[in-house]
Homo-oligomer: A and B are copies of this chain.
């Protein structure tokens, strides 16, 4: 417990988290700081490239671990069960309509790149090792939840959902070839091909400034989250609570699952952070296309303004202390 508190405080006292808080506060006090959208977009791309590439270079060094197949299996299990559990909780405890159940569970089943990046930063600060292919696991876990959720909506809806046929084509493209999946896998493969030598040529751009750039990006994320917090009322008490408890449920489940696979502490933390994280880039775009009747005010606000801040500020040290406690 004391370790959790000290970890949490230490995590809170990093420049990244504090700049997130600054961004959040600045929006609340209606300051006019404005990070242009072009910048947010390119920073998001930077992180996917940097994370994927670094992972690939790691793999090229250590070779593919025996644990890879286990990890892929684990990633898929989490990618399928998390949205299922979320859906059932939302439907039977929250009594939310099917469409919004599906929309929200797609988000909580999918993953957040920036939460993952913050967890990597946390592990680095504690010098805890993790496998290079974890970036690939993240890419693997982006899409399944979206399909599972839509399937669930179909199954539970007696009357035909009026999702247009053409939407399915769009959705498949959007999910399989969405920018995060392509960038993460692409950079991972590039990293594997070029290895350590290629790394040395791009290190001053893709590795050294990583934490600093994260600082600027989280300032921006803080402002985006702060803007959405005003829609908090629309979300309501049940969904607000869900946005805080679902991550913990997913994380604890994942810790137990990873324990069964006997993954390292680093990998276990990253898996549980991925499970706990809720997508706010890929999933919203896909869900908007697949389930246009769902209310964006719910899923965007929950993902971005509640779960994301919770995870990067308290979730990561919490899941870490749970892992330590259980092992």
Residues of A within 8 A of B (CB): 13-15, 18-19, 22, 25-26, 29-39, 41-42, 45-46, 49, 53, 121, 125, 173-174, 177-179, 182-183, 186-187, 190, 193-194, 198, 201-206, 208-209, 211-213, 215-216, 219, 285
B contact residues around A31 at 8 Å (CB): 177-179, 182
Chain B residue with the shortest CB-CB distance to A22: B186
B contact residues around A36 at 8 Å (CB): 37-38, 41-42
5 intermolecular pairs with C-beta atoms under 8 Å apart:
A25-B186, A33-B179, A35-B45, A38-B38, A205-B216
Give Cα A118–Cα B201 distance, bound, in whole angstroms.
13
Give Cα A25–Cα B189 distance, bound, in whole angstroms.
13
What's the least CB distance linking A246 to chain B, in Å? Answer: 27
Given contacts A31-B179, A178-B31, A183-B33, contact A215 B205 (CB under 8 A): yes
Residue from the list B18, B49, B212 in contact with A205, Cβ < 8 A = B212
How many copies of the chain does the oligomer comprise? 3
B contact residues around A45 at 8 Å (CB): 33, 35, 216, 219
B contact residues around A209 at 8 Å (CB): 204-205, 209
Residue from the list B18, B30, B198, B204 in contact with A208, Cβ < 8 A = B204
Residue from the list B15, B46, B187, B194 in contact with A202, Cβ < 8 A = B15
Give Cα A186–Cα B46 distance, bound, in whole angstroms.
25
Given contacts A33-B183, A38-B36, contact A198 B15 (CB under 8 A): yes
A42 near B39 with CB under 8 A, answer yes
A186 near B26 with CB under 8 A, answer yes
Given contacts A34-B41, A190-B19, contact A29 B198 (CB under 8 A): no
A182 near B215 with CB under 8 A, answer no
Residue from the list B18, B49, B173, B174 in contact with A219, Cβ < 8 A = B49
B contact residues around A179 at 8 Å (CB): 26, 31-34
B38 near A193 with CB under 8 A, answer no
Given contacts A33-B179, A182-B31, A209-B205, contact A198 B13 (CB under 8 A): yes
